[in-house]
């Protein structure tokens, strides 16, 4: 079946540090890949997406590149802020299907 | 961008009551809506997929008589937790999408359900 594996958290960083959250996947078909962010007490917001190999999704300083050869979609940001503290979910969706498969989420805590 | 509104955001009620949660797509027509449950510090668990005008498809282990889903229009789906008990306390999140290309799901802000 389809699955998404994320690095376990929590990840604690100082403000302006470099962030990487690893994500790898297995898919039964051709997936689109997503990163969602969840702030405390809220639902999920789409952060960025990539729909085909070698695509780079980016938003709010976050980036992730769809690597088919390594089945990865690692999330990066060059300089994190306290306001980036949240839980980040990597997810995939197979083309032609509605269902989204989520990773377990990685909690990021940024300290001043 | 696409907006999904979920209501109420928080519910506290006594054991044995039924609770209805609404999920609306405000600026697009959602052919499919999803209902998730999220336990503390855990990922989202898909409960059911709701298609407009047809019966919901429930995931394995989810009681369809306990969690009633109605998707009466292209902009509204409801989840009713019937005869709720403390173990039903959780964070429930809906999402909506259209059947077009590889569009992502758009999520509501969630409903915190607490059964006393």
In this prediction, residue B3 carries a pLDDT of: 86
Q: Are strands A106-111 and A11-14 parallel, antiparallel or unpaired?
A: parallel
pLDDT digits (tens, 9 = 90+) for B24-52: 998 888 888 999 998 877 778 899 998 88
Cβ–Cβ < 8 Å for A50, A57: yes
- Sorted by sequence, the CB contacts under 8 Å of residue B98 that are 6+ apart come out as B28, B29, B30, B31, B32
pLDDT tier for residue B100 given thresholds of 50, 70 and 90? low
Query: With contact defined as beta carbons under 8 Å apart, do A75 and A88 qualify?
Result: yes
3-state secondary structure (DSSP) of residue A3: strand
| pLDDT recorded at residue A1 | 86
Query: Mean pLDDT across chain B, nearest whole number?
Result: 89
3-state secondary structure of A74: coil
Asked if the C-beta of A79 comes within 8 angstroms of chain B's C-beta atoms, the answer is no
Q: Which of A32, A43, A102 sits opposite B102 (nearest CB)?
A: A32
- Ranges of residues in chain A with a pLDDT under 70 are none
Tokens encoding B8: 């109420």
Residues of chain A in contact with residue B41, where contact means CB-CB under 8 angstroms, are 107
């Amino acid at each position: 079946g389809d699955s998404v594996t994320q690095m376990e958290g929590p990840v604690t960083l100082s403000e302006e540090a470099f962030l990487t959250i690893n994500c790898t996947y297995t898919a039964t078909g051709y997936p689109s890949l997503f990163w969602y962010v969840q702030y405390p007490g809220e639902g999920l917001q789409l952060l960025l997406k990539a729909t085909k190999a070698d695509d780079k999704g980016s938003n709010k300083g976050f980036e992730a590149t769809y690597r088919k050869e390594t089945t990865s979609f690692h999330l990066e940001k060059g300089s994190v802020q306290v306001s980036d503290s949240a839980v980040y979910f990597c997810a995939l969706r197979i083309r032609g299907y509605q269902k989204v498969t989520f990773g377990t989420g990685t909690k990021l805590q940024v300290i001043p | 961008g696409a907006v999904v509104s979920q209501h109420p955001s928080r519910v506290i009620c006594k054991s044995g009551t039924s609770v209805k949660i609404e999920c609306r797509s405000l600026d697009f027509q959602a052919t499919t809506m999803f209902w998730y449950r999220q336990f503390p510090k855990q990922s989202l668990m898909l409960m059911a997929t709701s298609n407009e005008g047809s019966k919901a498809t429930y995931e394995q282990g989810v009681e369809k008589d306990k969690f009633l889903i109605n998707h009466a229009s292209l902009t509204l789906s409801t989840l009713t937790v019937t005869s709720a008990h403390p173990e039903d306390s959780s964070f429930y999140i809906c999402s909506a999408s259209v059947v077009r290309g590889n569009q992502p799901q758009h999520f509501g802000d969630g409903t915190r359900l607490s059964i006393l």
